Amino acid sequence: MSDWNTRTKLVHGGIRRSQYNEVSEAIFLTQGFVYNNAEQAEARFIETGPDEFIYARYGNPTVSMFEQRIAMLEGAEDAFATASGMAAVNGALTSLVKAGDHVVSAKALFGSCLHILENILSQFGVEVTFVDGTNLDEWRAAVRPDTKVCFFESMSNPTLEVIDIAGVSEIAHSVGATVVVDNVFSTPAFSEAIAQGADVVVYSATKHIDGQGRALGGVVLGKKDYIRGPLETYMKHTGGSMSPFNAWVMLKGMETLDLRVRAQADSALKIAEAVEGHPALRRAIYPGLKGHAQNDLVQRQLGGKGGTVLSLEVKGGKEAAFKFLNAMTIAVISNNLGDAKSIATHPATTTHQRLSDAQKDDLGIAPGLIRFSVGLEDTDDLIADITAALEASQA
C-alpha cells in the first residue's frame, strides 16, 4: 500500500471495515467501547492494541481511519487527529517545550498561531525569537543550544511567502531542534514536507482536507514515538481530539482532495496570469507566477504548484478593497480557504485586524490587500468576476 500513488492512497488508505464489510467508511459515532469482561478492560488500560479502543478522546475507529489515510499520504509514521487546526498547532508546540526552553518562529503567521507564540508560550516561561522566515541567515543567527523548536508556515498567510523547509530544517537540526511546519497553504497534495526535513507537520483539516466548508479539524503528523508518546498524551488529557463525525467528513473529503486542489491551483495560476499588471492593481501575489520572488523554491519544494490562494493589492487602499469585495458576484466574503466556493477576505480588517499598524506594515498587510481563495467554479467566470470587481474598485 505504501507504493500506491497519491490518488489511490486518498481513496483507500487506512480503511477499516466492520463485520458488515461496508464499502464506504463507517462513522462510529460512539464515545466508548464495551469490554467483554473486567479482565479485558484491565488489559486494555495497560496496553491498547491497534484494533482496540477505550474512549473517543483517546481514539476511535473512524478517527483512526482518517489518521492512517493522511499519514500514508504525507509519508509520516503516524498522525493524531485534532478538533481544529489550532488544537493541532497548540498540541504540537506545547508537547515539545517546557519552561526555560527557546523557540524560533517565522513572524508571518496566521493570527491564532501568532497568539500562541507571542502570548501563550511566554506565559509558561518559553522564550520565542521571531525571524523573517524567508531569510535563512536570520534562522542561523537565532538558533541556540537551548532552541527546542523551529516553527513556521511553509507558505505564509496572507502574503504567500514560501519558506525553505529543507534549509530551515538543516539549521534547526544542527542545534538539535525539532522542526514544526504548519503546512496549510502548501496543501497535503503538493507537500513533501517530511521528506524535505520537517519533523512534525500540522494541518488545519478545516481547509483543503474538508474542502467544502463543513467541519473543523486538524492533524499532527510525525514519528510514531512522538505522535503516540508526548503528543498523544498531551492531546488525550487536554481534550483536543477530533470527533468521529468530523473524521468521517474529512475521510470523504480526502477522496477528492488531489483532484480539487490541483483544479484550484491550475485555476489560481490562470487567474493570476490574467490579472497580473491590471491597472487597478499595485501587485498580484501568487507563488506559481514566474515573477514571484521565490518561484524557484516553489519548483523545488512544491513541484511548481503555487497553491490555491492568491493575494491582490488594489490601488486606493481600504476604500478600493471594500469596493472590490462588494462588487464580486461569485466569490463570497468570508475567511475560510481551500473551499469549493471562492472566498475573498480583507486581512487588514478581519483576520489580521488585531495587529498594530507597524506589524501590518512589516508583514506587507496593506490596506488594499485582498486574499482570494480560489474555489472550484469555472475559471473564466472567476476571471470575469474579478476583472469586473477590479474596475469597480477604482470607480
Ligand X SMILES: *Cc1c(COP(=O)(O)O)cnc(C)c1O
Please pick, from the candidates 169, 206, 311, 342, the single residue that binds ligand X as defined by CB under 6 A. Answer: 206
Q: Which is nearer to ligand X, 82 or 379 (by Cβ)? A: 82
Residue 66 is a binding residue for ligand X (CB under 6 A): no
Distance (Å, rounded) from C-alpha 150 to C-alpha 224?
20
Could you tell me which stretch among 29-37, 81-89, 222-230, 317-325 binds ligand X (CB under 6 A)? Answer: 81-89
Q: Which is nearer to ligand X, 218 or 222 (by Cβ)? A: 218
Q: Please report which helix (H) or strand (E) contains residue 10, including its range.
A: helix 6-12
Q: Please report which helix (H) or strand (E) contains residue 45, including its range.
A: helix 38-46
Query: Which position's Cβ is nearest ligand X?
Result: 85
Residue 157 is a binding residue for ligand X (CB under 6 A): yes
Binding to ligand X in span 114-143, by CB under 6 A: none
Could you tell me which stretch among 28-36, 165-173, 204-212, 251-259 binds ligand X (CB under 6 A)? Answer: 204-212
Residue 153 is a binding residue for ligand X (CB under 6 A): yes
Residue 243 is a binding residue for ligand X (CB under 6 A): no
Residue 86 is a binding residue for ligand X (CB under 6 A): yes
Do you know the residue count of the chain? 395
Provide DSSP, 319-380.
Answer: HHHHHHHHH-SSSEE-S--S-SS-EEE-GGGTTTTTS-HHHHHHHT--TTEEEEE--SS-HH
Could you tell me which stretch among 110-118, 158-166, 241-249, 259-267 binds ligand X (CB under 6 A)? Answer: 110-118
Residue 198 is a binding residue for ligand X (CB under 6 A): no
Please pick, from the candidates 95, 105, 187, 204, the single residue that binds ligand X as defined by CB under 6 A. Answer: 204
Residue 78 is a binding residue for ligand X (CB under 6 A): no
In the DSSP assignment, the letter for residue 243 is P
Find residue 162's DSSP bridge partners.
155
In the DSSP assignment, the letter for residue 55 is B
Backbone angles phi, psi at 112, to 5 degrees: -75, -30
Residue 113 is a binding residue for ligand X (CB under 6 A): yes
Q: Please report which helix (H) or strand (E) contains residue 268, including its range.
A: helix 257-275
Please pick, from the candidates 25, 78, 101, 182, the single residue that binds ligand X as defined by CB under 6 A. Answer: 182
Q: Find the shortest distance in angstroms from Cβ 61 to ligand X.
A: 23
Beta-carbon count within 10 A of 79 CB: 28
In the DSSP assignment, the letter for residue 127 is E
Residue 211 is a binding residue for ligand X (CB under 6 A): no
Could you tell me which stretch among 29-37, 106-114, 171-179, 224-232 binds ligand X (CB under 6 A)? Answer: 106-114
Distance (Å, rounded) from C-alpha 244 to C-alpha 72?
19
Distance (Å, rounded) from C-alpha 104 to C-alpha 54?
37
Binding site for ligand X (CB under 6 A): 84-86, 89, 110, 112-113, 153, 157, 182, 184, 204, 206-207, 216, 218
